Structure 1
Amino acid sequence: MKKIIGIDLGGTSVKLAIVSQEGEILEKWSIKTNILENGKAIISDIIQSIREHLDLYQLTADDFIGIGMGSPGKVDAAHKTVIGAYNLGWSNLQEVGKAFDEAFGLPFYIGNDANVAALGEQWKGAGKGNSDVVMFTLGTGVGGGIVTNGQLVTGEGGAAGEIGHLTVDLDYLTPCTCGKKGCLEAVASATGVVNLAHRFSSEYEGDSLIKAGIDNGDEVTSKEIFDAAKSGDVFANMVVDKFVSYLGLAVSHIANTLSPSHIVIGGGVSAAGEFLREKIATKAYDFTFPQIRETCHIVLAELGNDAGIIGAAQLVRLEAE
């Protein structure tokens, strides 16, 4: 049976895989993302790496039904272009599909990286193949992806799923990198939880390793805050509870609007595990319509770094059907 090439393009590395049509990763490798000179060599590097590995595995383009790719930035799936992927140096329009078409002559499909990761979790991860799944990706920012009736929701212009820019903070109206104020991303990302700790440290007078670190001028990380909270640090728990109140509110809005079977929590911050998931679910269900509360499961992501390449393969499968 013919195979699929899945590509997950990131700011530091590009993950690539040969994936079966059942979603099994057959071969996997990665290359460094070369962002020099506005990332002009990124696509040619990926194409060259695929060619080398096809030779290595004694495969040709005829062995594949297509190539799928997840990319940062604003992705136009119809025209197969990317713009605004600033961490790659791609401020100008990149004609990604054209380059792959010329190189391999295979059907090529591309989506936003957070959306594609959601597709991976929906197909082979925590979504367990259910048709209505939403993913929150909690990293340096907050990304997201929506799968409805088994299809990725991209919306007009491809910007659907910008869960990180739901407005949840009306008290402090924390500025967000998008130019808006009060976004979920500003208060419920890895960066956001550190910002919350700094905001509340001056108001807290008890003992706390996290507060002491902030007062000392140390670089406190989100992991340290969550670890301290798990260990019973009162101040860290206060910060985490505020973080969770914002996130739970956003999760409830998505649950009430879309009624998915699963809301998947992924990204680096989700490494806090069941401790964090349980808190998010408790808060979210406080704000969720009762009937939806009974059918919507809030779960941790399962695929880790493979979500993007599996989701990229699923992009191809959905289009090929």
Structure 2
Amino acid sequence: MENRNFIGVDIGGTTVKLAFITYNGDILSKWEIPTNKEGNGSSIVEDIAASIKSKQEELNFSHDQFIGIGVGAPGFVDVGEGFIYSAVNIGWENYHLTTALTEETGYDAWLENDANLAALGENWKGAGGQANHLIAVTLGTGVGGGIIGNGQLLHGANGTVAEIGHMTAKTENGRACNCGKTGCLETVASATAIVRSAYDAIEAGEKTTLQEILRQNETISARDVFQEAAKGDQASQSILDEVIHYLGIAIANLAIAINPTRIVIGGGVSQAGDQLLNPLRKVFDQNALKRTSQAAEFVIASLGNDAGVLGAAYLAKQKSGK
């Protein structure tokens, strides 16, 4: 095996995804370990290093068959310094992640925000198709994103480019967001928001089949809302109409600023496919400039959970210069 491989690491609040990836973007092996958040995540880097070493031994890979590590983490990061200002759902504050990783593994390491890495991964090996101008939107527990302009991932003045979930969607009577603002896009268009709206509809006494779903399962998911809407449940459809309205306007405004050729929609909510994409495109077209709209193709992300580790490997490939 050639000696130009990379290690991709995608740190999440529940699991850490890891992969050995070739120079050309083929996954040699992928696995995950639990994210140990005890002690404000003090053992996470040690766990990652031990897991990498164990997997290399298991697969008979030598240390020098890998060039370096790309790593993604949630929260606000300084990519130049490899520094995490705050990753609330892990417990890190003012943490020099890449220095710690290098000390534990012996590899050079490069850091990026996890949503940005998903955009890089999709653009390298997935639905982005190596576009020079791309907006990636991740609809999951929250709403994240990444923007590529002139072939480069954008970071801005202090690393907060594409915090799409915290664009203001509702200027009045908006829900509180964990960022401290109210009415953020995340509070109306995430999987969490969809579920919250479903419970609100039931509590308001609306006639809806979601009530039966709740009785049977003792919980409601965003998937349930999409499925019930497809069956004709009006309350479910109204929830999705609101989601698509605010999301479509937000993406249209972003597109007017960025002028992308491709808009990639990922995350768990994107599994709804055309049920989401077709009405979203309609709202987008109504609110974007005609020339902006003509240039932009909407696609569903194709890499799933592999986007982050592939983006991490691509980051390491770019930064190592090898």
TM-score, with normalisation over the residues of structure 2?
0.93
Residue identity (%): 40
- SS of equivalent to 2:228: helix
Check if 1:147 corresponds to 2:148.
yes
- SS of equivalent to 2:247: helix
Gap change, CA 1:97 and 1:202, over 3 Å in 2: closer
Aligned to 1:224: 224
Aligned to 1:178: 179
Aligned to 2:138: 137
Task: Pick which of 223-232 and 148-157 moved more.
Answer: 148-157
Task: Pick which of 193-202 and 133-142 moved more.
Answer: 193-202
Find the aligned partners of 1:119 and 1:208 in 2 and give their Cα distance: 40
Deviation string, structure 1 residues 170-210 (Cα, Å, up to 9, x no partner) = 242222111111110011111112233344556675x4212
Q: Map 1:50-65; keep pairs closer than 5 Å.
A: 50-65=52-67
Gap change, CA 1:159 and 1:64, over 3 Å in 2: same
Aligned to 2:11: 9
- SS of equivalent to 1:155: coil
Q: Which amino acid aligns with 2:304?
A: G
Gap change, CA 1:93 and 1:26, over 3 Å in 2: same
Gap change, CA 1:218 and 1:45, over 3 Å in 2: closer
Q: Which amino acid aligns with 1:31?
A: I
Q: Which amino acid aligns with 2:279?
A: K
Instruction: After TM superposition, give the deviation of residue 266 of structure 1 in Å.
Output: 0.8
Find the aligned partners of 2:82 and 2:203 in 1 and give their Cα distance: 49
Aligned to 1:169: 170
Task: Pick which of 98-107 and 166-175 moved more.
Answer: 98-107
Gap change, CA 1:204 and 1:4, over 3 Å in 2: same
Task: Pick which of 139-148 and 171-180 moved more.
Answer: 171-180
Gap change, CA 1:286 and 1:204, over 3 Å in 2: farther
- SS of equivalent to 1:87: coil
TM-score, with normalisation over the residues of structure 1?
0.93
Aligned to 2:287: 287
Aligned to 1:261: 261
Q: Map 1:64-213; keep pairs closer than 5 Å.
A: 64-90=66-92, 92-200=93-201, 207-210=207-210
Preserved contact between residue 46 and residue 104 of structure 2 (Cα < 8 Å): no
Instruction: After TM superposition, give the deviation of residue 57 of structure 1 in Å.
Output: 2.6
Find the aligned partners of 1:38 and 1:247 in 2 and give their Cα distance: 34
C-alpha root-mean-square deviation of aligned residues, in Å?
2.0
Q: Which amino acid aligns with 1:33?
A: T
Task: Pick which of 93-102 and 132-141 moved more.
Answer: 93-102
Task: Pick which of 94-103 and 271-280 moved more.
Answer: 94-103
Instruction: After TM superposition, give the deviation of residue 153 of structure 1 in Å.
Output: 0.9
Find the aligned partners of 1:302 and 1:65 in 2 and give their Cα distance: 27
Any gaps of 5 or more consecutive residues in structure 2? none
Find the aligned partners of 1:11 and 1:37 in 2 and give their Cα distance: 14
Instruction: After TM superposition, give the deviation of residue 101 of structure 1 in Å.
Output: 2.1
Gap change, CA 1:29 and 1:290, over 3 Å in 2: same
Find the aligned partners of 1:149 and 1:113 in 2 and give their Cα distance: 21
Find the aligned partners of 2:67 and 2:306 in 1 and give their Cα distance: 20
Find the aligned partners of 1:149 and 1:195 in 2 and give their Cα distance: 38
Preserved contact between residue 61 and residue 104 of structure 1 (Cα < 8 Å): no
Instruction: After TM superposition, give the deviation of residue 219 of structure 1 in Å.
Output: 3.3
Deviation string, structure 1 residues 205-225 (Cα, Å, up to 9, x no partner) = 5x4212566799953321211
- SS of equivalent to 1:44: helix
Instruction: After TM superposition, give the deviation of residue 120 of structure 1 in Å.
Output: 0.5
Aligned to 1:240: 240
Find the aligned partners of 2:175 and 2:89 in 1 and give their Cα distance: 23
Instruction: After TM superposition, give the deviation of residue 49 of structure 1 in Å.
Output: 0.9
Gap change, CA 1:291 and 1:204, over 3 Å in 2: farther
Q: Which amino acid aligns with 1:76?
A: D
Find the aligned partners of 1:115 and 1:210 in 2 and give their Cα distance: 35
Deviation string, structure 1 residues 16-60 (Cα, Å, up to 9, x no partner) = 111111111111121111112211110000011111122223333
Q: Which amino acid aligns with 1:189?
A: S
Find the aligned partners of 2:166 and 2:269 in 1 and give their Cα distance: 17
Q: Which amino acid aligns with 2:255?
A: A
- SS of equivalent to 2:7: strand
Instruction: After TM superposition, give the deviation of residue 89 of structure 1 in Å.
Output: 2.1
Any gaps of 5 or more consecutive residues in structure 1? none
Q: Which amino acid aligns with 1:93?
A: N
Find the aligned partners of 2:205 and 2:295 in 1 and give their Cα distance: 39
Deviation string, structure 1 residues 282-318 (Cα, Å, up to 9, x no partner) = 1111101101111101111100000000000111122
- SS of equivalent to 1:101: helix
Find the aligned partners of 1:103 and 1:287 in 2 and give their Cα distance: 50
